[in-house]
Amino acid sequence: MFSRAPVDEQIQLTVKSNIVHYNLAGVVYYGDTHYTARFVDTDGRVWYNDGLTLGRRAQLERFIHDMDMMKDRAGKSCDILIYRRT
């Protein structure tokens, strides 16, 4: 059985007895045989890309604290979470 957990903006892992912190850096969404993505810059701004409509450009959406990262604009659920070490 598979269940979806909420997207955490920050996670921490214990590596060799040390706590290592990570911030959300990107989310990949999939649906209708098509991928879209969001990435989060180091200032917390969220950028959206749908290569079919935007090409190589990313469109600024808002700050990460002001949005739900679970679904993209078309309602596709998140499939891949990417974190960056802080």
pLDDT value of residue 5: 75
Looking at the chain, the whole-number percentage of residues with pLDDT higher than 70 is 95
Q: Please check the confidence at residue 3 and state whether its pLDDT lies above 70.
A: no
49 found inside a domain: yes
In which band, very low, low, confident or very high, does the pLDDT at 32 lie, cut at 50, 70 and 90?
confident
Query: Is the distance from CB of 60 to CB of 45 less than 8 angstroms?
Result: yes
Calculate the alpha carbon distances from 79 to 17, 18, 73 in Å: 30, 28, 14
3 found inside a domain: no
Mean per-residue pLDDT of the chain: 92
Domains contained in the chain, number: 1
Q: Please check the confidence at residue 11 and state whether its pLDDT lies above 60.
A: yes
33 found inside a domain: yes
Q: Which domain holds residue 74?
A: 10-85
Least confident of 18-22, 28-32, 57-61: 28-32
The one-character DSSP state at 54 is: H
